Amino acid sequence: MNILLIDPSKSHAEGGTEPYGKQTPHIGLTYLGTYLKKLNYNIEILDFSIQDSIDIIDYIKKFKPDYVGITAMSFQIHDVYDLFRKIKGYDKNIKTVIGGSHVTAIPEKVMGECGDIDYAITGEGESIFHKLIENGFKERSVLHSPVPIDLNTLDFPDWSLFDYSKYAKSFSFKFDKDLNIYPVSTTRGCPYKCIFCHGDYLGKKVRMRSPENIVEEIEHDIEKYDSRFFYIADSNVTINMKRFISFCKMLIEKKLNEKISWKAQSRINLLDENALKMMKEAGCETLFMGIESGDDETLKIIDKQITTKMIRKIVKAANRIGLRVRASFVIGLPFETEERIMNTINFAKELDLDSFSFHILDIYPKTRIYEYVEKNYGGLKYANPEYRNNWMVLNRNKAMVEVGNLSEERINELYSLAMDGSKDKKSK
């Protein structure tokens, strides 16, 4: 049986990414492809963002898939609908499956908007996709895996499913050259409820791989793919400090810290000086943090559970220890005023960050911020009525909501001011 999995659209992030090459394959799609390949299905994964040009029907004519599964984030959803229409227009017998964060948030709405989708899979897809293939379900079903997977039982991602030479390399300061970077996912689920994020779509309970299993994957990738540069693809690598310290110690004991370099991200309130020291000694070169605001009142409003004092302390310690520090900020948050936004802009530029970026607030389904805008809470309202539930306008660099007396135009102007010099203060 032939199964085609697709990572859609040329742009792999909101607002377009053509000048910036995609560095890694989609980790969730890779796990799914690896899982199904082990069960002896014939798998191909098509990543549109690394293709010079692609005609989906020509590709399907050659591969002849029985199933086509497409993952979709909100900003991609209309591109995905178009793909499904073309596929069903060519051969209505091909079974079509959609997965990803957007359909997990609003599955019935997605199924209602596109009649060319046979099945919607919410949450993680490995076991339920297999069950679909083996047992079948009634037409046009929304499917969810009832039992969360033990992450330690999954095979390591099979990067041979991709032509890795087509992915952009990332500069390693440790090795002083551009290298392919390989993602390592060590958890699923998120206990936090950031107001603008649907990050718990894989569950509120965090499931974690053991340090031994993670290190074994790194050793596997070194041996099989000659990997030297890794990205820990968790939003909070220090979510369990004991596990994280064990992971770092294992890298050091096995002297893998001398062979590899890696990047990671975490939250300010999940870091301390000891963790930063272990991170650096274990081979980490860059730490990313979503700080979001440099105004203490705004940080309280968005329930970030951090303060500017905490931020300064962690950034100062990370710099002293020798980690490169990157951060991101958001403007257009509830109750924000021009003064508060300027506090954030000035704060970002005063912090000793290697690089930082700004984004304008986007509105995603099944988030608290979506409900806030619906109720005009915090002074939030759509800048244009046509922006409501219009996922095509998700952009990150253009305002889709206004806040208080800040117009769409003024928020865009403040964003331009924030971005002045923001991308790269002192990094290569």
- pLDDT confidence of residue 279: 98
- pLDDT confidence of residue 200: 60
Superfamily of domain 169-419: tm_1862 like domain (3.80.30.20)
How many CA atoms within 13 Å lie on the side-chain side of 272? Answer: 7
Residue 64 confidence (pLDDT) above 90: yes
Q: Give the separation between CA 276 and CA 290, rounded to whole angstroms.
A: 16
Which bin fits 133, alpha (ψ -120 to 50), beta or left (φ > 0)?
alpha
- 3-state SS of the chain? CEEEEEECCCCCCCCCCCCCCCCCCCHHHHHHHHHHHHCCCEEEEEEHHHCCCCCHHHHHHHHCCCEEEEECCHHHHHHHHHHHHHHHHHCCCCEEEEECHHHHHCHHHHHHHCCCCCEEEECCCHHHHHHHHHHCCCCCEEEECCCCCCHHHCCCCCHHHCCHHHCCCEEECCCCEEECCEEECCEECCCCCCCCCCCCCCCCCCEECCHHHHHHHHHHHHHHHCCCEEEECCCCCCCCHHHHHHHHHHHHHCCHHHCCEEEEEECHHHCCHHHHHHHHHCCEEEEEEEEECCCHHHHHHCCCCCCHHHHHHHHHHHHHHCCEEEEEEEECCCCCCHHHHHHHHHHHHHCCCCEEEEEECCCCCCCHHHHHHHCCHHHEEECCHHHCCCHHHCCCCCCCEEECCECHHHHHHHHHHHHCCCCCCCCC
* Domain positions in the chain: 2-144, 169-419
Q: Give the separation between CA 191 and CA 302, rounded to whole angstroms.
A: 15
Domain 2-144 has CATH 3.30.1490.20: no
Report the chain's mean pLDDT, rounded to a whole number: 93
pLDDT in tens, 391-419: 999 988 999 999 999 999 999 999 999 99
Residue 172 confidence (pLDDT) above 90: yes
Q: Mean pLDDT, to the nearest integer, of 150-166?
A: 96
pLDDT in tens, 242-300: 999 999 999 999 999 999 999 999 999 999 999 999 999 999 999 999 999 999 999 99
- pLDDT confidence of residue 247: 98
pLDDT in tens, 188-215: 988 877 888 876 666 778 999 999 999 9
User: Do 344 and 295 contact (CB within 8 A), yes or no?
Assistant: yes
